[in-house]
Structure 1
């Protein structure tokens, strides 16, 4: 059994039959190729599937039984994409409906009911990652008030599901560049005094963290110093361009520009200021290119991109060390979320089963059982 789940949003299944099919088509071969007796799934449910399952406990039991028979289990859901995550063009639609829209509430409550039914008896708790309120453009004060009220209702629903299934079911808000809660600091400020920290916490996506050029240790300290918790870490690597003025880098980077997903870019200038662009195509023409770029492009964990590009895997290590040093009694779920396999440049692609199995093996070698930094006696990590 591994300490890591893999996120199934890499698969396009958006009905129950497709969900069951992906167990045999992908999850079991991945588990076997990674040499594991049990493998966790970070299950993605489209809104339509979540609604069907939430209304039919027998179908949830069927999915749970089918998973267990195959050496699979579910402790966490990805409840960020609502539907259509494999449409030809996704871009900004992944942030809709926002938390000001009642459809987001319904979807989240449906996911909570499904997750409660999928948890094994030995699960410590269940977690669900969700979007950071919505995309920043077009967001209004009215949306903010609606989001606050919606979150109050969802917290009540999570408490009800916790009582029903006998284990905590928790929500994890996932900061992302370009969104209303762009960075960890934005999420902490908004969540402080608005949420029950035993019910709602954070999902720390290490690709998003890297793109923001944040210091992992400082970001984690902000979370725990505010009395909040990390319920989930999405183990993912961003694409880094050390010298965006290098013609070789520009040529290599051009291969990663693609039409399906949004690839936010952040440049850290010589003075430490961060310049921002919302997509890779636009960044090439607008950012100054005086400092390193970080690109929101989840790249495989186990193999570096072709030079002069590289992956920010060291951010994952630093973030996990910082979280494990502060996590206390709640160990975050760790989910590998490289959803970009099907849009990677041709020379970077691998067979999906081989690639995800290799990521799991890499994570076990490099990230498992990380104890956190060793501190001098009497010194606390703050």
Structure 2
């Protein structure tokens, strides 16, 4: 989408906030939730970054009648399907997700098959005039479960995906791009890891298989999640520049907000835990001593009250900062306690990169999949959810308008 400005209807949210593995559930979410957000924004149509679990995707591929029905549902409800979330494979709203979200990983055939199915669905369901679509995918797998054998197999399968995407574009005229989404504690968490992989592994392996650098970068890029890189304390502008310098296209930006905290005592740790303790999702936490940030930093696999207290004790009760992989509303910048803040500035830095790089116009998608954790049980769920999603998109519109990126 090489255009200087975004329009309001191009700004959307990821539907992984809505539970539902089956195609029936996806259609119900479109008709009862997506449409309400679209209407609240006074739009006749709105782009969508739908999440289709493997179960829903297989239904669309295996049963042509259902694909035809799905296309009609999209058209009737004003859904312009331009991207998909291909990260969560199965039930993303089961009681406990944690690191199961990284399964199957990219060394498994089922991940490749799922990705091919999503690519075909997107190519067949995009608006006629839309020639390019994007699908986010996981950063290969969870780092602690990774090895060289899996790495080799994942690269082999990614090259097989490139072959499939070339053939798909020849048949449909649609260019479908996959964006590898870096995430804390995964095979690719830092920008340098992703760039090095392209430079030293993927591009050389693809060349041996007969694919040029141009072909690889036409179909495989980066899905940039602002929360994830903020948790890593990366300089967002430098990170985006490093990716772009190699020619890796940023195919989608997931606009997301992380929790930040400056902690001085155990009382604050208790307060943080009360607000953000979560049995369902994984909340990787990066902590750094304020006294000696270079020497005293550590990574926690999940938000853990006991481990935070241990870090405080080991550092002789000196203050430390924490960045927590917990997607909170992108417009949220105030909290019940003054020591807690957000990484909203990372979002603004990411969007400012677009100002100075007019050739970089990725799909923009708000991804706050934890909304159900914030819902007040005494108020109707849909009312709060629709209002919250709408407010996030309004904030994004206003921010883009301030940057003169919205027409």
Q: What whole-Å deviation, never above 9, does each CA across 1:90-135 have from its counterpart, x for those lacking one?
A: 0010011111111111111111111111111222410000000100
Aligned to 1:91: 98
* SS of 1:77 mapped into structure 2: strand
Which of 70, 73, 84 does residue 63 from structure 1 map onto?
70
Does residue 318 (structure 1) correspond to residue 349 (structure 2)? The answer is yes
Does residue 358 (structure 1) correspond to residue 396 (structure 2)? The answer is no
Does residue 334 (structure 1) correspond to residue 364 (structure 2)? The answer is yes
Q: What whole-Å deviation, never above 9, does each CA across 1:168-208 have from its counterpart, x for those lacking one?
A: 10000000000011112211111225151111000100000
Determine if contact 1:90/1:261 at 8 Å carries over to the other structure: yes
Relative to the length of structure 1, the TM-score reads: 0.91
Which of 290, 299, 304 does residue 319 from structure 2 map onto?
290
Larger radius of gyration: 2
Equivalent-residue separation in structure 1 for 2:50 and 2:63 (angstroms): 18
Determine if contact 1:236/1:337 at 8 Å carries over to the other structure: yes
Which of 9, 18, 23 does residue 16 from structure 1 map onto?
23
Equivalent-residue separation in structure 2 for 1:371 and 1:58 (angstroms): 44
Residues 83 and 121 of structure 1, relative CA distance in 2, 3 Å threshold: same
Relative to the length of structure 2, the TM-score reads: 0.86
Residues 27 and 292 of structure 1, relative CA distance in 2, 3 Å threshold: same
Equivalent-residue separation in structure 2 for 1:327 and 1:142 (angstroms): 40
Residues 170 and 277 of structure 1, relative CA distance in 2, 3 Å threshold: same
* SS of 1:261 mapped into structure 2: coil
Which of 322, 337, 342 does residue 307 from structure 1 map onto?
337
Equivalent-residue separation in structure 1 for 2:277 and 2:147 (angstroms): 31
Instruction: Point out the more displaced range, 30-39 or 74-83.
Output: 30-39
* SS of 2:263 mapped into structure 1: coil
Cα offset for 1:214? 0.4
Equivalent-residue separation in structure 1 for 2:358 and 2:179 (angstroms): 14
Aligned to 1:243: 263
Which of 269, 273, 279 does residue 302 from structure 2 map onto?
279
Residues 340 and 81 of structure 1, relative CA distance in 2, 3 Å threshold: same
Equivalent-residue separation in structure 2 for 1:160 and 1:369 (angstroms): 41
Cα offset for 1:39? 1.5
Determine if contact 2:266/2:309 at 8 Å carries over to the other structure: no
Equivalent-residue separation in structure 2 for 1:35 and 1:242 (angstroms): 40
Cα offset for 1:71? 1.8
Q: How does 1:44-63 map to 2 (within 5 A)?
A: 44-63=51-70
Cα offset for 1:248? 3.9
Cα offset for 1:283? 4.1
Equivalent-residue separation in structure 2 for 1:249 and 1:366 (angstroms): 32
Equivalent-residue separation in structure 2 for 1:286 and 1:108 (angstroms): 42
Determine if contact 2:82/2:133 at 8 Å carries over to the other structure: yes
Determine if contact 2:287/2:323 at 8 Å carries over to the other structure: yes
Determine if contact 1:213/1:268 at 8 Å carries over to the other structure: no
Q: How many residues align?
A: 371
Which of 16, 25, 28 does residue 32 from structure 2 map onto?
25
Equivalent-residue separation in structure 2 for 1:208 and 1:86 (angstroms): 20
Does residue 100 (structure 1) correspond to residue 107 (structure 2)? The answer is yes
Q: How does 1:1-382 map to 2 (within 5 A)?
A: 1-192=8-199, 194-195=202-203, 196-243=216-263, 245=265, 247-248=267-268, 250-270=270-290, 271-273=292-294, 274-281=297-304, 283-288=307-312, 290-304=319-333, 305-308=335-338, 309-326=340-357, 328=359, 330-344=360-374, 346=376, 351-368=384-401, 370=403
* SS of 1:238 mapped into structure 2: strand
More helix, by proportion? 2
Equivalent-residue separation in structure 2 for 1:250 and 1:215 (angstroms): 29
**Please, what is the CA RMSD of the aligned residues?**
2.2
Structure 1's unaligned 5+ residue stretches are 373-382
